[in-house]
Amino acid sequence: MRAYNIADWQILGGPSWMDSGKYDIDARPDHPVSGDDLHAMVRSLLTYRFKLTMRRETQEGSLYVLSVDQAGTHIKTHEPGVNDQETHGATGDSYGNRHATFNNAGMSLLVFFLAEETGRDVIDKTGLGDRYDFTLDYAPMRNPIDVGTYVAPDLEHSQGGIFAALRQQLGLSLQAQRGMVQRFRVTGLEKPSEN
């Protein structure tokens, strides 16, 4: 998922062991690499050692559209030279509340984060093209420990859901729609042999 920048629900097909098989991979690049370079290396490993093949499919499905709220956005533009590495992370408390931090982030990183959190494709219609620093405090829709399960809607959280948090804290809106979504069908995958 990380190597191809896709989410769990976007993957179709594949053998049953794909979701349960565990492997230890000890690999080191011979020089410092970017996140994009690292993902390319993992894609190469998946192709070479696991014989992974996939094809893209388009189908109609549920999605969310991210846009600027009517009141306008209040996201802080990143100041170059302070900490220019694009990062994001989320922590949680024992009540299920989450705190996400974004540094030098473009909207594509927020869109990917929201897709993981909501379990649906997210399309960016904000028109925001800069880099930003912001935090987001919210109650998750998906269980942070097991992203394949959804949190019961009646759970009490001290923070608002992700839709309200986006609107109140960032001035962004997330609206449900139907449209064409992209899926990735696994057409080939083999268990690798040990070295």
Domain span at 60: 8-188
Output the pLDDT for position 145: 53
CB count within 10 Å of CB 122 equals 21
List of residues 6+ apart from 120 with CB closer than 8 A: 9, 61, 62, 63, 64, 176
Spatial contact of 98 and 158, defined as CB atoms under 8 Å apart = no
Output the pLDDT for position 144: 52
Q: Within a domain: residue 17?
A: yes
Output the pLDDT for position 71: 87
Interatomic CA distance for residues 50 and 82, integer angstroms:
41
Q: Within a domain: residue 82?
A: yes
Interatomic CA distance for residues 63 and 178, integer angstroms:
6
Q: Within a domain: residue 13?
A: yes
Q: Within a domain: residue 2?
A: no
Residue whose C-alpha is closest to residue 73's, from 112, 129, 114, 118: 129
Q: Within a domain: residue 193?
A: no
187: left (phi over 0), alpha (psi -120 to 50) or beta: alpha
Q: Within a domain: residue 194?
A: no
Output the pLDDT for position 8: 81
What residues form DSSP beta bridges with 89?
101
Judged against a pLDDT cut of 80, whether residue 142 lies above it is answered with: no
Q: How confident is the model at residue 1 (pLDDT cuts 50, 70, 90)?
A: confident
- Across the beta sheet with 87-92, the strand order is 76-77, 132-138, 98-105, 87-92
Our count of domains for the chain comes to 1
Q: How confident is the model at residue 161 (pLDDT cuts 50, 70, 90)?
A: confident
Q: Within a domain: residue 195?
A: no
pLDDT digits (tens, 9 = 90+) for 83-92: 888 888 888 8
Judged against a pLDDT cut of 90, whether residue 2 lies above it is answered with: no
Q: Within a domain: residue 48?
A: yes
pTM passes above 0.85:
no
Output the pLDDT for position 103: 93
Spatial contact of 183 and 59, defined as CB atoms under 8 Å apart = yes
Judged against a pLDDT cut of 50, whether residue 108 lies above it is answered with: yes
Q: How confident is the model at residue 114 (pLDDT cuts 50, 70, 90)?
A: very high
Q: How confident is the model at residue 155 (pLDDT cuts 50, 70, 90)?
A: very low
Is residue 162 classed as helix, strand or coil in its secondary structure?
Answer: helix
Q: How confident is the model at residue 107 (pLDDT cuts 50, 70, 90)?
A: very high
